Amino acid sequence: MRPFEENFAKMLARESMKYEELSKLVSQWGEEKGIFANSTPLRQLDKTQEELDETKSALEKLNDFDYQGDLMESLGVPTPSEEDLRAEVKDGIGDMLVTIILLAKMVDMDSVDCLQSAYDVIKKRTGKMVNGLFVKDQ
Ligand SMILES: [Mg+2]
């Protein structure tokens, strides 16, 4: 195992313990709210899309913050602080994870297992960065 893989595996093991506990609490919350009894995987995925759109919008605002923030301030238009925008991004990432944890449970899967499977595949993958995205070798 290469050093970065070792560190990532350690990090994943440490994080997944906490993630695993939290995902169980999220599932209990979903049960209590009647989400499993009254929704479907596809409706739940719509919720993921909604949260993804919110996260994207928050990230776009954060990206534009430097120049637009100054412009708006000079025009006297109230703008959210960088801290507020970062809190919006954090909220969005958390909400996406919640919807994905619930989706996995709806199709009788555990999101921790899904993450493990994904990591097992990507850890062996080679590729290169193209336009800001990792493109795998064929
Ligand atoms: Mg949200």
Ligand 1 centroid–CA 105 distance in Å is 20
Q: Which domain, by its residues, includes 123? A: 3-136
Per the document, the length of the chain is: 138
Instruction: Measure 2 CA to ligand 1 centroid, in angstroms.
Output: 37
Q: How far is the CA of 79 from the centre of ligand 1 (A)?
A: 20
Looking at residue 61, its amino acid is K
91 contact partners, CB below 8 Å, separation of at least 6: 54, 58
Q: How far apart are CA 8 and CA 30, in angstroms?
A: 30
- With a threshold of 0.85, does the pTM exceed it? no
Supply the CATH number for residue 30's domain.
1.10.3420
Distance 127 CA to ligand 1 centre (A): 33
92 C-alpha to ligand 1 centroid (Å): 5
Count of domains forming the chain = 1
- pLDDT one digit per residue (tens) for the chain, 138 residues: 677 677 667 766 766 668 899 999 999 999 999 999 999 999 999 999 999 999 999 999 888 876 666 677 778 777 788 899 999 999 999 999 999 999 999 999 999 999 999 999 999 989 999 989 999 998
